[in-house]
Structure 1
C-alpha cells in the first residue's frame, strides 16, 4: 500500500541537517551542520532521505586522493562540500512541471557529480529520480544502485558476458564486485570470485561458481584461462593478470592509472594483426561509467531495480551509521574491508 501524502497542514521546517566537508583530509573533516531547507523548482523534487551510500569514490573525494581528483572536486577546497550521489527516500514535494512523481512515493535518486545526498532532505532534478519497486527495500535499492550502475556496463557492454563466458572478478565482495558477480551469473557466465577469507561465503551466495581466498592463493598462483578478468578494486594490474587470460581475452578495471589509460588508447592497435600474434590478442582497458549520459545511467538503474524485484539480484549492505556519524562510516570505508555498500541512515 503506498504511503499517504504528507499533510498540507504540516509546516515545512526552515532548515535541515547536512554533513559537509570544507577542507580535504581524514574522515574527521566531515561535520554535521544546519542548512536551508531545499525548495523544489519547477522540474525538481525534494526528498526526505532514508538511505545514502558511502562509496570508495566519495572517500577519495574527501581526502583528495589521488591529488588529480582535485581537478573534479576543487583545487584548493571542496567545490561540493556535501557528498552523496546514490540516495533513497520518499518524495516530500514536487515542482509544478513534475508529473511522474507525487509526495509519498518511495524513490531512488542518482545525483552524480552534483552530490548532496549526505542530508536529511535533498533537492534533485526529477529526471534523476525513479520509483523503487514494491518488494525492494530502500537500503538494498541504494546499495544495488551504488555498485550495480558501474558493474552493469562493465559486464554487459565491455566484457560482453554471455552464457559460457569465463569471468574472474577480483574484489568480488565490494559494491561493484558483488553486483558484477550477480549480473554475470544471471547472464550465464562461469564466475570465479576473488575476495578475502571473511567474505568467501558471501561471494558464493551471490552466484560465483568458485571462490578464491586471496589471503591463501595470490592471483599469480591461479592458472585460468579466463575470457575476462574484471578488477573491481585497486589490488591488481594487467601485468599480474595477463597469464590468466585466454587468447583474445580482456582485462578490465575500474581503477584509473597511467598504464591502463595508455593500454585503453592502444587497445584497437593491440587487437590488430601486427601484435595479435605475439600478445595473443590479450588487451586491457578502463571504462569511466560515471561519465555516461545521465539518462543512460538512470535506465541502467531502472533495469537493476527490475532485476531485484524479480529476485535475480540484490543489494548487499555491509554496515549502517546515522547521518551524524558519517566520519565513522568513512573511516570504515578507508580500511578497505567493507563488503557491499556502507550506508548512512538519516
Structure 2
C-alpha cells in the first residue's frame, strides 16, 4: 500500500510516500480503506517534534527519540471497511466509517488497521472529506465545551483561535447551544467566524484578547494565547476557562476555574458529531483537500499557523 512515512523528525519535507505491506487487522480491529484523512496540528507537532514547552523529553520518550516509532502518522480517517479482525461485531465489509486512530496513528495511508471501538458508521449524507475534517477539532471542542465547561444556553463564550480546526467547531457548537459567542481571530477571517455563529469578533492583530475588560462564562483558548493568569481574569465566577494548547508549566498552574489538557478521542464523541454534519448544522470548514502525494504542502499549511479550519488528504 502507499503511505506517508516519517523516518525522522523535521520539516514537512521529511514526510515521503513509500510502499509498505498492508496491515493485517488483529482481533478487535477493522481494516479500513482510507478515502480521506485529516492533517492536524497534532500530526504536525509529532512530525516536527514540536512539543509544548517542558514536554520535549517526555514526548520523545513516548513517541521516539529521533523519529516517530509509528512511522505512518495520521490520527483521523474516513473510509470503507475492507476486512474484519476476529471478534468484531457491528461492522460489515463495505460499511462507510470514520474515527480517530489514537496513539497508533496510521491514517496517512491507503489502509488503516484501527480498533473497532474507535470507529462509527458514517452517514451516507456526509462526505468522507467532511467526516475526516470535522472529527479532530469537533471532538476537542465538544469535550471542552459540553463535558468540561457544561455549557448552557444564554452563557457568554469566548473562543480564542476561532478560525482554526478547534475554533471553527467551538464557535458553531457554542452557537448551537444557544450561547452568545465572541470569536478571536484575524480580520481576514472575521467574516467566516461570524458566518459560523459568532456574535462579536475580536481582531487579535489590533486588540489584545487578554485585555478585553469584561468576563465570560466559558473560555476556550485553542491558540495558546492566554495564560492561567490572564484566563482567570477573564472568566466569571462559577465559569470555566479551558487552555487547549497549554504547555507543561501552564498545565501545572491551571487550577480553580482554569483547566488545561487534551480531549479523549473515543467513538462516543465522534458519534455526537455525525448527526450535526448530516443535518448541515456543523460546517467542517475545509481549507483544502489534496492528494496524498501533496502531504508536504499540507504540512506547510498547518505549520504556517494560519490554517483556516482543516486540511484533508485523499490516499
TM-score (norm 1): 0.85
Correspondence for 1:24: 9
Displaced runs of 4+ in structure 1, greater than 4 A?
Answer: none
Distance of aligned partners of 1:258 and 1:49 in 2 relative to their CA distance in 1, 3 Å threshold:
closer
Deviates more, 1:38-47 or 1:209-218: 38-47
| CA–CA separation in structure 1 for the residues paired with 2:119 and 2:220 | 29
| Structure 1 counterpart of 2:127 | 137
Residue 109 of structure 1 corresponds to 99
In structure 1, the residue corresponding to 2:158 is in which secondary structure?
Answer: strand
> What CA distance in whole angstroms lies between the structure 1 residues aligned with 2:261 and 2:157?
17
Q: Distance in 1 between matches of 2:103 and 2:27?
A: 21
Deviation at 1:216, TM superposition (A): 2.6
Comparing 325-334 with 241-250, greater Cα deviation is found at 241-250
Tell me the distance in 2 between the aligned counterparts of 1:63 and 1:96: 36
Match in the other structure for 2:178: 188
- TM-superposed CA distance for 1:220, in Å, is 4.1
Equivalence map 1:113-262=2 (5 Å): 113-262=103-252
Using the TM superposition, name which of 86-95 and 53-62 deviates more.
86-95
User: When the two structures are aligned, how many residues end up with a matched partner?
Assistant: 310
**Unpaired segments of 5 or more residues in structure 1?**
1-15, 268-282
- Contact preservation (8 Å) 2:32, 2:82: yes
Q: Which has the larger radius of gyration?
A: 1
Task: Give 3-state SS (helix, strand or coil) of 2:290's partner.
Answer: strand
Question: Once the two structures are superposed, what CA deviation does each residue of 1:42-81 show, in whole Å capped at 9, x if it has no partner?
Answer: 4322221111111111111111112242132112331111
Residues 99/247 of structure 1: CA separation in 2 closer, same or farther (3 Å cut): closer
The Cα RMSD (Å) is 1.7
Q: Which runs of 5+ in 2 are unaligned?
A: none
| In 1, Cα distance between equivalents of 2:39 and 2:46 | 11
Q: How far apart, CA to CA, are the structure 2 residues paired with 1:192 and 1:143?
A: 23
Q: Deviations over 1:85-104 (max 9, x none)?
A: 11011112223533322222
TM value normalised by structure 2: 0.93
Equivalent-residue separation in structure 2 for 1:340 and 1:19 (angstroms): 22
Partners of 1:180 and 1:219 in 2: CA distance = 17
Equivalent in the alignment of 1:97: 87
Conserved? CA contact 1:260–1:284, under 8 Å: no
State yes or no: 1:299 paired with 2:268. Answer: yes
Q: Distance in 2 between matches of 1:184 and 1:263?
A: 26
